[in-house]
Structure 1
Amino acid sequence: MNSPSKAPLFVSSDFNGFLGLLVDNLSVMAFLATALIGIFGFPADLVYTRMFPGTTLGVLLGNLAYFFMARRLAKRSGSTETTAMPLGVDAPTSIGMALLVLGPAFLSYKQSGMDEHAAAIATWQLGMAALVVMGVFKTVLSFFGPLVQRHVPRAGLLGSIAGIALVLMGFLPLLEIMKVPVVGFAGLGVVLYALVARGHMPWNLPGVLVAFVIGLLLYEVLGPLGWLGHGYQPMAAWQWRFALPWPTLQWMHGLPLTVPYLPLILPFGLLMVVGGINVTESARAAGDDYNTRDILLVEALATLIAGCCGGVAQTTPYIGQPAYRAMGARTGYVLITGVVVGLGGVFGYLSNLVEILPLAVLAPILVFVAVSITTQAFVATPVRYAPAVVFSFFPAIADMLAIKLGDPTYVAHAHFTELYNDTSHGISELAVINVLGNGFIITAMIWASFVVAMIDGKPRRAAWIVLLGGALTLFGVIHSVVPTGSLYLPWLLDPASRSVALQFAAAYGVLALVLMALSLRPGPASVAKPQ
């Protein structure tokens, strides 16, 4: 066996990890482009030659840093099975940036009298500036990551990302698969056979590659025959787009434009810090003990550099590290992915892949990653905490529903506003979904943590955790009553919104009082027996 210091840079299973991480990044970039170009009419050339190169530069630099961190960890720990932390473009906040910041800003600039080109440039500058703000914010917060990790139970850390995996990384891609079921379901079956059931692939080919090839062949053979209905779209023509992500000060022009969006931009950065803490704990549970501060700092700096070079979507350490470890990927897969994605933004082949490859072919690997992460949340925590893990899933489910219902292609904005503000039977169901989903990662951590405290027979500790949730609710850090999820000062809200915010905060306060009262009862608190 090779010594860790002389372990090969690449192993054959790194190809599985590379395809998985590449597909993950492609999927997010495809949604970003589809939302901006398809929904809001943003100029495609600006997306592909300005936004993509800077965004992918962050992916390149972050993965290079994680590659060297993994090699260092392998040498220090003496392990030949160290798996690098994957990094890529973040899905939830990229969706949020496209639908809640960049798209609406572009439309508002055009409505204010700007021509389309000027409005597009202003929107791009806003996106860059938003990334710089988030990068600086995350750099500061990265030094507090280990403190959070010490005080939040593993069920809270893993449960919150399992909820993301289940509904955002699992269910949403599953919808794309079933839009073209003949293609997508076959690919998904192969992925599950190879990576879950550990089935043998012909000629020892990587399972992800086999699934990709089968899906693409089915799409290209059956589609022209009309067997896929409207699910088939002929491939777009290949176009070479060369654009270097040079550092630019244009983001400074966008700084004043970020002010109205800061209540939304800052929570995006905060969610990535919390998510980074959670994925580091996930990697630790899988066997790779990375330094939390270093993981967060690398990601923050990658976001900052991407913003300075034209990027508009922040990077994040992906929650799939244990899944890539299960694939057999080690350290080389992040190096390959970083180079392929980074150069793809420069030479334009990434934008071509986004235009050409159907999501039904790309999505099966995302479903596998979602299954692996959700499974880990239960395997890596004691069985008695399973209810806390399950309870932490609900805010993520609400966020997924809010994303779908808030999409103007699903529900017209006027109708959404009407349903949201309908108080004829108390708080409207749509408002509850939206409020429950806003700040869902932090909400999930709080919910799982207070349930863990109760299971451990510590109702007083649970009460203090619930009180913290109430305080965060007052200012919209969680349960923001603003549909976009922004922060606020409660006394500046309109009366109807303030009433909802106070009701949610009061709910936490009342529960805290009940738990405090229960903690005063005589005799030792009962504790669930370990199983």
Structure 2
Amino acid sequence: MTSTASPRLRWFVPGDLNGFFGLVVDNLTILAFIAGALIGLFGFPADVVFQRMFPGTAFGVLVGNLIYTAMARRLAARSGREDVTAMPLGLDAPTSIGMALLVLGPAFVAYKAGGLDAQAAAIATWKLGMASLVVMGVLKFVLSFAGAWVTRVLPRAALLGSIAGIALVLMGFFPLIEALRVPVVGFVTLGLLLYVLVAKGRLPLDLPGVPLVFAFGTLLYYGLGFAGLGAPGFTPPAAWQWHLALPLPNWGFVEGLPATLPYLPLLLPFGLLMVVGGINVSESARAAGDDYSTRDILLAEAFSTLVAGFCGGVAQTTPYIGQPAYKHMGARHGYTLLTGLFIGIGGMLGVVSSLVQWLPLAVLAPIMVYVAIDITTQAFDATPRRHTAAMVLGFLPSVAYLLAIKLGNPAWIAPEKFHRLATTLDGHGLPELAVITTLGNGFIITAMIWIATVAAMVDGHLRRAAALLLVAAGLAAFGVVHSVDPRGGLHGPWQLDGLAQIISLQFVAAYGVLALLLAGLSLMAAVRAEPDDA
């Protein structure tokens, strides 16, 4: 009798290079936004962003991707499959945007208004950002143990549909607009990516498609720019800068903890959204064939966020919702290892900071559009057909969140005009802008509840649907969903007055009334189902 040794699991396959470029680009895009918002909008000192905030943030990405690489290799060895794709981990786009625009930027302005010079205000803000990450990491760690229970009680449509709405509306639309700000570059890059990744087309020389497309798009951007044919206001990139900034653990977060108290109504929902998102991406990976433990995915996410906070980071890590997209690229687990090493070490050496300044967003954004398309397609493929209408309904809160972001932007509507439009009663109901903002706040959880409720109706479980609506009413009362705070903060019913109280009560009552009606209909259905004694 002879025995055959099982083949050794390869560290890298050709598809890992595509996955590496895609995941690196996702992270660089978010870092570019953080830098652009803090430095461009709020006048933050660039050295604090690039040499204090970025190294710790990048180190969290390194730690998380190393853990996810190990988890993928363990799953592949246990299942005997070589096609296991690691869960991609990176910086979360919505909460990174929220941290930059709603926490770090305003805090920096407040510190300067309090008498600190720009450098001292930036250091104080950095410590606040560290503390914020620690707070969110602790919350995610505690809630990690409830992840498996949520996947048992909610239908797949609720888990995948809420993510698909985010993908289509936020991850797809925002990057598409950014790409089309330089139409020739952005549209050509997007078209080539779709040719390579969707149509499975081949490029010359049989080189990996994604990196070749990025190289071509970058050359096109700078070629047109230097020729005077590119984007209006084109400026050459800054000179490449090398610097060593080690993300060493420090106690700065302790000094920043007291400053987090006013921001807890924002930070706690940020952390909660990442737990919900982690549950959803675990289900997404499971639907694609890779059965990861939801609890382990969430614990790794929480740990990497805590590490980033301890080491100076200001943006929380999260498992990305595009795991099936990376699987379709042919990536396995080498791409997360490469990404972690590149982002982590590059953050220490200044490579990431220089790339953020060199790579045009018109070239970076199209990969996120592709990932959004793939996520939405997979959600429909993996959801029972009878639940697809419920899933589409769950897209709408994401639309409200998108509108709330843009309508709250002073570039769209001046703050005083926005306040007037959001508080004026015209006799036809609540102000439209107030409804848009309220509907958008807590949009992920809202989408999950809406989808699960309609799916329960479709399946004939009216009492379960009524119970979900009562849960939604309770969450709305405290601002977990439908917060009347324009920034999405939590609040108790006793803290509200005036129009804010009216809006909150209307949403709570809406859920309550529908729950009672469905409960009544369930009783009617039960009576009709009883055998006729006559």
**What TM-score results when the alignment is normalised by the length of structure 2?**
0.96
Q: 1:75 to 1:109 in 2, by over 3 A?
A: same
Q: 1:519 to 1:356 in 2, by over 3 A?
A: same
Give the Cα separation in 2 of the matches to 1:525 and 1:391.
30
**1:387-430 deviation digits (Å, cap 9, x = unpaired):** 01101101111111112222334333333323222233432211
1:455-470 maps to which residues of 2 (within 5 A)?
A: 455-470=458-473
1:524, CA displacement in angstroms?
A: 8.8
Stretch moving more, 231-240 or 25-34: 231-240
Residue in 2 aligned with 1:286? Answer: 288
**1:169-223 deviation digits (Å, cap 9, x = unpaired):** 1110000111111001111111111111111222222221122122112112222
Unaligned runs of 5+ in 2: 530-534
1:12, CA displacement in angstroms?
A: 0.8
1:3, CA displacement in angstroms?
A: 7.8
Give the Cα separation in 2 of the matches to 1:429 and 1:465.
26
Residue in 1 aligned with 2:99? Answer: 97
Residue in 2 aligned with 1:27? Answer: 29
Residue in 2 aligned with 1:18? Answer: 20
Give the Cα separation in 2 of the matches to 1:522 and 1:471.
26
Where 2:318 maps in the other structure, the secondary structure is strand
Give the Cα separation in 2 of the matches to 1:367 and 1:13.
19
Residue in 1 aligned with 2:509? Answer: 506
Where 2:410 maps in the other structure, the secondary structure is coil
Residue in 2 aligned with 1:483? Answer: 486
Give the Cα separation in 2 of the matches to 1:438 and 1:21.
28
1:32-431 maps to which residues of 2 (within 5 A)?
A: 32-230=34-232, 232-425=234-427, 426-431=429-434
1:127, CA displacement in angstroms?
A: 0.5
Q: 1:347 to 1:524 in 2, by over 3 A?
A: farther
Unaligned runs of 5+ in 1: 527-531
Q: 1:484 to 1:238 in 2, by over 3 A?
A: same
**1:147-170 deviation digits (Å, cap 9, x = unpaired):** 111111100000011111111211
Conservation of the 8 A alpha-carbon contact between 1:28 and 1:91: yes
Stretch moving more, 114-123 or 289-298: 114-123
Conservation of the 8 A alpha-carbon contact between 2:20 and 2:336: yes
- Structure 2 residue 453 is matched with structure 1 residue 445: no
Stretch moving more, 276-285 or 36-45: 36-45
Q: 1:403 to 1:354 in 2, by over 3 A?
A: same
Q: 1:53 to 1:516 in 2, by over 3 A?
A: same
Give the Cα separation in 1 of the matches to 2:21 and 2:307.
25
1:239, CA displacement in angstroms?
A: 1.4
Give the Cα separation in 1 of the matches to 2:267 and 2:528.
43
Stretch moving more, 157-166 or 205-214: 205-214
Give the Cα separation in 2 of the matches to 1:404 and 1:61.
34
Give the Cα separation in 2 of the matches to 1:5 and 1:282.
28
Where 1:235 maps in the other structure, the secondary structure is coil
Residue in 2 aligned with 1:529? Answer: none
Amino acid at match of 1:498: Q
Give the Cα separation in 1 of the matches to 2:79 and 2:414.
55
Amino acid at match of 1:447: W
Where 2:54 maps in the other structure, the secondary structure is helix
Give the Cα separation in 1 of the matches to 2:204 and 2:400.
42
Residue in 1 aligned with 2:499? Answer: 496
Count, aligned residues: 525
Aligned mate of 1:472, from 466, 475, 478: 475
**1:130-160 deviation digits (Å, cap 9, x = unpaired):** 0001111111100111011111110000001
Identity across the alignment (%): 63
Stretch moving more, 132-141 or 408-417: 408-417
Where 2:43 maps in the other structure, the secondary structure is coil
Conservation of the 8 A alpha-carbon contact between 2:470 and 2:512: yes
Q: 1:524 to 1:190 in 2, by over 3 A?
A: farther
Where 2:524 maps in the other structure, the secondary structure is coil
Give the Cα separation in 1 of the matches to 2:228 and 2:17.
33
Q: 1:202 to 1:524 in 2, by over 3 A?
A: farther
Conservation of the 8 A alpha-carbon contact between 1:51 and 1:124: yes
Conservation of the 8 A alpha-carbon contact between 1:4 and 1:75: no
Where 2:226 maps in the other structure, the secondary structure is coil
Give the Cα separation in 1 of the matches to 2:510 and 2:236.
53
Conservation of the 8 A alpha-carbon contact between 2:181 and 2:231: no
Q: 1:524 to 1:185 in 2, by over 3 A?
A: farther
Stretch moving more, 516-525 or 206-215: 516-525
Amino acid at match of 1:299: E
Where 1:316 maps in the other structure, the secondary structure is strand
Residue in 1 aligned with 2:532? Answer: none
Amino acid at match of 1:242: L
Stretch moving more, 29-38 or 194-203: 194-203
Give the Cα separation in 2 of the matches to 1:307 and 1:495.
39
Give the Cα separation in 2 of the matches to 1:183 and 1:316.
29
1:384, CA displacement in angstroms?
A: 1.0
Where 2:90 maps in the other structure, the secondary structure is strand
Conservation of the 8 A alpha-carbon contact between 2:203 and 2:209: yes
Give the Cα separation in 2 of the matches to 1:259 and 1:330.
42
Where 1:88 maps in the other structure, the secondary structure is strand
Aligned mate of 1:436, from 439, 464, 488: 439
Stretch moving more, 180-189 or 513-522: 513-522
1:353, CA displacement in angstroms?
A: 0.8
Give the Cα separation in 1 of the matches to 2:341 and 2:480.
36
Give the Cα separation in 1 of the matches to 2:495 and 2:211.
54
**1:326-357 deviation digits (Å, cap 9, x = unpaired):** 00000100000000000111001111111111
Give the Cα separation in 1 of the matches to 2:217 and 2:453.
44
Q: 1:292 to 1:220 in 2, by over 3 A?
A: same
1:522, CA displacement in angstroms?
A: 3.9
Q: 1:138 to 1:523 in 2, by over 3 A?
A: closer
Give the Cα separation in 1 of the matches to 2:455 and 2:86.
30
Amino acid at match of 1:445: M
Conservation of the 8 A alpha-carbon contact between 1:13 and 1:329: yes
**1:33-52 deviation digits (Å, cap 9, x = unpaired):** 11111111111110000000
Amino acid at match of 1:219: Y
Q: 1:85 to 1:517 in 2, by over 3 A?
A: same
Q: 1:341 to 1:523 in 2, by over 3 A?
A: same
Give the Cα separation in 1 of the matches to 2:523 and 2:39.
59
Q: 1:124 to 1:457 in 2, by over 3 A?
A: same
Amino acid at match of 1:31: F
Amino acid at match of 1:264: L
Amino acid at match of 2:481: I
Conservation of the 8 A alpha-carbon contact between 2:484 and 2:500: yes
Conservation of the 8 A alpha-carbon contact between 1:4 and 1:79: no
